[in-house]
Amino acid sequence: TYTVPTFTVSAEEGETYKVVTAGGVLNGTTTGDEITLRDITTSLSGNTGNSDTSFTVGGTIDVGATQGSGSYSGQLSVTVSYE
pTM exceeding the 0.75 threshold for the entire prediction: yes
For residues 50 and 17, the answer to whether their CB atoms sit within 8 Å is yes
pLDDT 10s digits, 46-66:
889 988 889 999 999 888 888
| Amino acid 78: pLDDT | 92
